[in-house]
Amino acid sequence: MKTPAKTLMIQGTASSVGKSILVTALCRIFKQDGFSVAPFKAQNMALNSFVTRQGGEIGRSQVVQAEAAGIEPTVDMNPVLLKPEADARSQVIVRGKLLKTISAGEYYKYTPYLLKTVGSSLSYLRSIYEMVIIEGAGSPAEINLKEREIVNMRVAGMAGAPVLLVGDIDRGGVFASLVGTLELLDEGERNYIKGFIINKFRGDLRLLQPGLKLLEKRTSKPVLGVIPYFRNITIAQEDSVYLDERQNSPLSSDLDIAIIRLPHISNYDDFDPLEEEGCRGRYVACPAELGTPDLIILPGTKSTIGDLAHLRQSGLAESIIQQAREGKAVIGICGGYQMLGKSLHDPEGIESTEKSVLGLGLLDVVTTFISQKSTTQVKARVLTDRGLLEGMKGQELVGYEIHMGQTGNKQSAGAFSIVETPEGKADYLDGTLDTQGMVLGTYMHGLFHNPGFRRNLLNSLRRRCGLPEREHGTAAGKETQYDKLAELVRQNLDMAAIYDIVNQGIGN
């Protein structure tokens, strides 16, 4: 009988301290060192999600971590996913499929059932891999939640996983955060923590040394590394805090792209590749920030009707409509596609208490929300060669769908034909291109991750703007980025000590 995989868990003093990126780095490092390794996060709360080959929906971070580990993502890597909606509700997705939509108070009634699911997925991963790197969520010291949590110390105990505690020094107060977290844990939980990692450090490490020594003396636990703040490595992010921290592309970029920052924006990693092509990507939240970009993008959202109301209240809806009527290019993805239509109907109250609302009216389509959720990977073919899709007819691309609405196209043909899903050959239409060819909507996430499609579309825009075309982007591919991240982290972590911790488990 195979010995269960060794485990290591990364927990943090708070959200957005760098747990996900460190798990990604460790997955890559252990892979480079010859181990079969898998990521695991028991419960994730995120609007950025992904559809696996089997049609299951999981958090985007676990997909990135699986890619870094060189394996295919599966629902066992993130058995519970919470997707917040309006009115303090969340979709609860269990092993990739929607269980139900409930309030925060109701959610905790399901904890015993969910904990069994977590244990089953963790055991399965440990049965087929040599190592499992586990990510916690938020902080393990949230004393009001400790009795009901299913993602931090309870999972560490379930896995027998030694824990490395991460603090973000860029925020300030990192020593108080690390010591305070330990103080709020009980003695048994403190024994799981085998060392500290300080993340996002800027400055002279020599000036930090006295603090590190005092931290080790105060806690009797080692500092295993100080990871420098970096901007030159591109890894897809899941937490929307990333949108607050990110910097806009340099002003020297040619095309100016405005991405509407909806209150419930989802899957914004769809647009990361645009900057690889020399574009200036801006996330805008009000008309004053919109300006006159070369392309406006309405992204996906977990609350289409609510976010559409926000567009109207903020004045962005009027600005987008006016610019589109003047010939501005507009692209809507998933929920953004739904908003571009004439109307949205919700007879079953899936999205809102509003039974029917008007859309922006830029596409001749109507959306009706239904309880069945579409989650599938797709292969598609471009059906037209006009406007934004000029010269692309017949081009093939890949992506994935995550949506609860069905959108009817009154035109004779869609913008794309779906030709294949993981179940086999397919034959249905997706998306719409308006009569001028400058407003495009589609349900396909990952559209801009197709290099040929992305470059053709952007060059079409450049021609219209009188800008020179570009042959290719400048950014390195994913594999190179994961290797760069692993090298940076390896250089700044005591990997020999971490291997000792992994091998000794929680017994030392």
SS3 content of the chain, % helix, strand, coil (to 5): 35, 30, 35
Domain CATH code at residue 155: 3.40.50.300
Chain segment 458-472, per-residue pLDDT in tens: 999 999 999 998 876
Supply the pLDDT for residue 144: 86
In whole angstroms, what is the distance from residue 115 CA to residue 394 CA? 47
254 and 229: one domain? no
Share above pLDDT 70 across residues of the chain, in percent, rounded to a whole number: 94
Q: What are phi and psi of 316, to 5 degrees?
A: -65, -35
Domain CATH code at residue 440: 3.40.50.880
End-to-end CA distance of the chain: 26
Q: Helices (H) and strands (E) in the chain — how many of each?
A: 17, 26
Looking at 334, 403, 449, 472, which residue is catalytic?
334
Q: Answer yes or no: is pLDDT of 238 > 80.
A: no
Q: For this structure, is 334 an active site residue?
A: yes
Q: For this structure, is 465 an active site residue?
A: no
Give residue 441's pLDDT band: very low, low, confident or very high (50, 70, 90): very high
Chain segment 166-218, per-residue pLDDT in tens: 999 998 999 999 999 999 999 999 999 999 999 999 989 999 999 999 999 99
202 and 283: one domain? no
Chain segment 391-423, per-residue pLDDT in tens: 999 999 999 999 888 998 766 568 999 999 999
Supply the pLDDT for residue 107: 86
Supply the pLDDT for residue 252: 54
216 and 276: one domain? no
- Residue 386 inside a domain? The answer is yes
- Residue 109 inside a domain? The answer is no
Residue range 29-47: mean pLDDT, rounded: 96
Tokens of 119: 């244990």
262 and 303: one domain? yes
145 and 10: one domain? yes
Tokens of 279: 């574009």
Residue 183's domain comprises 6-42+61-71+117-234+481-507
224 and 253: one domain? no
**CA-based angle 341:308:260, to the nearest 5?**
95
- Residue 34 inside a domain? The answer is yes
42: nearest Cα among 16, 71, 86, 10:
10
- Residue 470 inside a domain? The answer is no
213 and 258: one domain? no
Mean pLDDT, the chain, integer: 91
218 and 194: one domain? yes
284 and 428: one domain? yes
Q: How many domains does the chain have?
A: 2
- Residue 83 inside a domain? The answer is no
422 and 457: one domain? yes
- Residue 394 inside a domain? The answer is yes
Looking at 264, 310, 445, 449, which residue is catalytic?
445
Give residue 277's pLDDT band: very low, low, confident or very high (50, 70, 90): confident
- Residue 204 inside a domain? The answer is yes
In whole angstroms, what is the distance from residue 262 CA to residue 234 CA? 23
- Residue 227 inside a domain? The answer is yes
294 and 150: one domain? no
258 and 122: one domain? no
